[in-house]
Amino acid sequence: MNNIYTPSAENIARAAEIIKNGGLVSFPTDTVYGLGANVYNAAAVANIFKAKERPLFDPLISHIANIDFLSEYACTDERAITLAKHFWPGPLTFVLRRKDNNPAIDLACAGLNSIAVRMPNHPVALELIRQSGVPIVAPSANRFKTVSPTTAQHVQDSLGNKVDMILDGGACTIGVETTIIDLTGKHIVILRAGVMAKEELEAIKRKKIYLSHDNPELPKAPGQLLKHYAPRMPLRINVADHDVREDEFFIGFGKVRGARLNLSPSGNLCEAAANLFAYLREAEKHDEYKGIAMSPIPENGLGLAINDRIRRASYKE
């Protein structure tokens, strides 16, 4: 059964009613497609974990549509408000102390005393949140540890009828999940690299931003597990074009030879990020290959986020 619908005013209103009534709706964001539920409905949130086959210790991100709501939902300070006003809506998630001990959101927070919050930069997502009247908790709309979805069809292929409704907003413009920063301590710490570069955050706060070295098996935010975003066949990274094996599907970057797909022939990191998950999904369809090889990606700017994703995708358990 095909659950994909155009994001008309009527369909967004229908999707909002599904959220209010405890159902699951997949919707587009600026980064990837999310699988959404009412954060205050524990049964609905549990269905997200069930649909994704995701472990309950891996916390979820709540999505809001108004900066003013942030202080009602979580403990904020000057840092959080300044960053929100500068970067929201956009691909930046905050981890903040919970405002209260409301047991309804325990599952979304994986039992932690902190909560992850963001405001997506996508008109369909924002309108859905507004009409639902509640924060929408929404991890990526795919089975756990598989490649993240950047189109509505990716969601359909991965989750099928486990989703009550999929709103089709076209291909996601960024294609890599948000940067997640921890604002619960003295220093601002990046828990997950994303499209928002460390340098951009430092330019606004004029303070050093730290990188997390927390235990990946006890994540404080989504996307911290060592193995994540994995295609169904083995992935080798940092492979030069002359070292690709005959039985590997080669995904290139920049000026390389023999690539079946190239994330960005011109070496543009933004283009590479937008293509990353879609190309991994395309590569894993080719049964004539036994593995995937990927060119080296520069470790600067958005390259930090891309390398974070492919390292987790290639991790051998």
**DSSP assignment of 88-128:** -SSSEEEEEEBSS--GGGTTTTTT-SEEEEE--S-HHHHHH
Residue 225 included in any domain:
no
What's phi and psi for 155, nearest 5 deg?
-65, -45
Residue 67 included in any domain:
yes
The confidence score (pLDDT) of residue 219 equals 53
Cα atoms in the 13 Å half-sphere on the side-chain side of 219: 26
Residue 262 included in any domain:
yes
- The CATH number of whichever domain residue 120 belongs to comes to 3.90.870.10
Residue 192 included in any domain:
yes
Q: Which tops the pLDDT comparison, 30 or 301?
A: 30
Domain finish residue from 211, 226, 255: 211
- The CATH number of whichever domain residue 249 belongs to comes to 3.40.50.11030
Domain finish residue from 211, 243, 260: 211
pTM of the complete model beyond 0.85: no
User: Is residue 20 over pLDDT 90?
Assistant: yes
The confidence score (pLDDT) of residue 289 equals 97
Question: Does one domain contain both 285 and 199?
Answer: no
Residue 136: pLDDT band with limits 50, 70, 90: very high
Please, which residues have CB within 8 angstroms of residue 258's CB and are 6 or more apart in sequence? 241, 244, 250, 252
User: Is residue 268 over pLDDT 80?
Assistant: yes
Question: Does one domain contain both 24 and 85?
Answer: yes
Question: Does one domain contain both 206 and 244?
Answer: no
Count of domains for the chain: 2
Question: Does one domain contain both 40 and 77?
Answer: yes
Question: Does one domain contain both 33 and 151?
Answer: yes
Question: Does one domain contain both 204 and 297?
Answer: no
User: Is residue 90 over pLDDT 90?
Assistant: yes
In angstroms, the CA 261 to CA 279 distance is 7
Residue 100: pLDDT band with limits 50, 70, 90: confident
The confidence score (pLDDT) of residue 132 equals 98
Q: Which tops the pLDDT comparison, 222 or 138?
A: 138
- Calculate what percentage of the chain has a pLDDT beyond 70: 94
Rounded to an integer, the average pLDDT of 22-50 is: 95
Question: Does one domain contain both 281 and 179?
Answer: no
The confidence score (pLDDT) of residue 225 equals 53
Q: Do the strands 92-97 and 165-167 form a parallel or antiparallel pair, or are they unpaired?
A: unpaired
Mean pLDDT, the chain, whole residue set: 90
Question: Does one domain contain both 274 and 162?
Answer: no
Token pair, residue 187, equals 């220093």
The confidence score (pLDDT) of residue 176 equals 87
Question: Does one domain contain both 147 and 185?
Answer: yes
The confidence score (pLDDT) of residue 128 equals 98
> What residues make up the domain containing 241?
235-314
Question: Does one domain contain both 282 and 141?
Answer: no
Residue 224 included in any domain:
no
Question: Does one domain contain both 117 and 24?
Answer: yes
Residue 220 included in any domain:
no
DSSP 212: P
Question: Does one domain contain both 275 and 187?
Answer: no
Domain finish residue from 195, 211, 227: 211
Which of the residue ranges 190-194, 207-211, 283-287 would you say has the lowest mean pLDDT?
207-211
What's phi and psi for 162, nearest 5 deg?
-75, -10
Q: Cis bond leading into 28, ω under 30°?
A: no
Rounded to an integer, the average pLDDT of 138-149 is: 91
Residue 222 included in any domain:
no
Residue 217 included in any domain:
no
